[in-house]
Amino acid sequence: MKIIHSIEGIRAVRSGYSPQSVGFVATMGYLHEGHLALVKQAKRDNERVIVSIFVNPKQFGPTEDLSRYPRDMERDFALLHTSGVDLVFVPDIETIYPADFQTVVEVSRITQTLEGAHRPTHFAGVTTVVAKLFNIVQPTRAYFGQKDAQQAAVIQQMVRDLNFNLEIVIGPTVREPDGLALSSRNKYLDTEQRAAATTLYRSLKAAEGLWESGVRDGNVLRQKMMDVLSAEPLARVDYVSAADPATLVEYGSTVPAGSGVLLSMAVFIGQTRLIDNFLLAVREGE
């Protein structure tokens, strides 16, 4: 496995891979089984796999956790080596954002709701760095997790709008046995908070139960999630949502026939902000 820090270095190795297919997993490091599941899928689909590790300052707000974001590069390298990755790109900040950097890649509408409404500069930071990484790595396919549902939708929109010549693959959310979605931020939770954090999954399950019993009222679905979350004293809700999976616009009292729903939420457990979601489809014949 090669570890490369420079753009020229990546370009040189990448051109040696052609015409083989290249799968790409962009990460901010501190890897967990969710990342490794994406790597595994990339290995299955492609002849070569490239992973990037870059904690992107542009996607963190001024009061967010950039400086304390967990890092463990040696462990990450060992995991990627064991997973059979060919190349790891580990740029430093000046490589990605040189002093005269002045471009922003921004997707407009679907970044206005949910995470975008609560983290106004976040998605422009994500799309700017992902666009750069796509241009540097030139992957055949790029893999992102469903855990970050809106990020996945925003990146797909950017790829369509800007005609990036690659396929986006969305991998399922990987969970702990008790349902907690894997996230590098779970490391911040103490024992009591870790137990409380299952409230996100439990609230999604409760709303899923309503959906499966035929409830098609966005207000009722949101209220169900709120009821479960409110019962957890350590949880502070940032938002809950029952939205159209394509536009991410909230459903009102009726979900249009034939439409699925994206149930999603952001919840603080102590100082740690966790997100989770279920993407629910309509039943056959509905």
Residues 162 to 191 in contact with ligand PAF, rule: CB under 6 A = none
32 is known as an active-site residue: no
| Count of residues that interact with ligand PAF, criterion CB under 6 A | 10
Peptide bond preceding 19: is omega within 30 degrees of 0, i.e. cis? yes
194-217 b/e (C-beta count within 10 Å ≥ 16 → b): bebbbbbbebbbbbbebbeeebbe
Q: What is the 3-state secondary structure (H, E, C) of 256-272?
A: CCCCCEEEEEEEEECCE
The single residue listed with the structure tokens 């070569």 is: 48
Residues 38 to 67 in contact with ligand PAF, rule: CB under 6 A = 56, 59
Which part of the chain contacts ligand PAF (CB under 6 A), choosing from 20-28, 172-180, 234-242, 266-274?
A: 20-28
Least Å distance between CB 67 and ligand PAF? Answer: 16
Cross-sheet strand order for the sheet of 48-53:
2-4, 87-89, 48-53, 22-27, 141-145, 167-171
* Residue closer to ligand PAF, measured from CB, 180 or 235: 180
Which part of the chain contacts ligand PAF (CB under 6 A), choosing from 7-15, 22-30, 172-180, 243-251?
A: 22-30
Tokens representing 208?
Answer: 């899923």
Q: Are strands 261-269 and 141-145 parallel, antiparallel or unpaired?
A: unpaired
* Residue closer to ligand PAF, measured from CB, 127 or 140: 127
* Residue closer to ligand PAF, measured from CB, 167 or 208: 167
Q: What's the rounded Cα separation, in Å, for the pair 263 and 47?
A: 35
Residues 121 to 140 in contact with ligand PAF, rule: CB under 6 A = 126, 129-130
* Residue closer to ligand PAF, measured from CB, 28 or 42: 28
* Marked catalytic residue, from 35, 81, 118, 122: 35
C-alpha to C-alpha distances, 205 to 163, 228, 276, nearest whole angstrom: 37, 10, 11
Number of H helices, E strands in the chain: 10, 9
The single residue listed with the structure tokens 């690659």 is: 166
Is residue 83 a contact point for ligand PAF (CB under 6 A)? Answer: no
Least Å distance between CB 117 and ligand PAF? Answer: 17
Least Å distance between CB 5 and ligand PAF? Answer: 17
* Residue closer to ligand PAF, measured from CB, 145 or 218: 145
Tokens representing 250?
Answer: 């909230």
Please report, as ranges, the residues that interact with ligand PAF according to CB under 6 A: 26-28, 56, 59, 126, 129-130, 148, 151
Residues carrying an active site annotation: 35
